[in-house]
Amino acid sequence: MVQVVELPTRDPQSRAGINRPSLDELRKRAQALVQTLRANGEETERSRRVSSLNMQMLRDADLFRLMRPTRFGGFEYGFTELLELGSEIGRGCGSTAWCYGLVVVHQWMLSIFPAEAQEEIFTANPDTVICGSYAPVARAEAVDGGYRIKGR
């Protein structure tokens, strides 16, 4: 059976990046989810995917905003904080923590894209989360005037 956890209501200004929560506050939000994530673990294993409920709880706690730029409502924390919160989430569900880390790092990756790409994604829906897959395999060969790259 899937359980739901209630989180305290936050000031709506925090969604606009005006009131950046402290790492301690974000840690408390993650800790508040651990028991429910653990209780939902059997369903995650059975369905072989992180439940929509788990992802929604992370979204409701604003944890996906960890590395997003402040100009798009994020908190602009770094990789150390990502590891810390991911570890806390992992106390409840390792699969959810893995997916959380992927989503958050892709928020950061988008922040190094051109401004137009950031605007298009982050302003279309303030709760947008993105994730991709990449496994670049290539070989570079020095040639006159540069390099020739072969791969996929």
Asked if residue 99 has pLDDT above 90, the reply is yes
What domains does the chain contain, in order, with CATH numbers?
12-151 (1.10.540.10)
For 17, the token pair is 């990046």
Write out the E strands in 2-137. Answer: none
Q: Which residue, 92, 140, 136, is CA-closest to 150?
A: 140
- When mean pLDDT is compared across 16-20, 40-44, 113-117, 123-127, the lowest value belongs to 16-20
The residue type at 126: P
- When mean pLDDT is compared across 2-6, 74-78, 84-88, 112-116, the lowest value belongs to 2-6
Q: Which residue, 74, 57, 59, is CA-closest to 20?
A: 74
- Higher-scoring residue by pLDDT: 11, 113: 113
Asked if residue 4 has pLDDT above 80, the reply is no
The residue type at 123: T
Asked if residue 15 has pLDDT above 50, the reply is no
Q: What angle do CA 41, 32, 125 make, to 5 degrees?
A: 85
pLDDT of 5 reads 47
Report if pTM > 0.85: no
pLDDT of 136 reads 72
pLDDT of 18 reads 53
Q: What angle do CA 109, 111, 114 make, to 5 degrees?
A: 105
For 140, the token pair is 């570079």
DSSP assignment letter at 12? G
> CB of 85 within 8 A of CB of 27?
yes
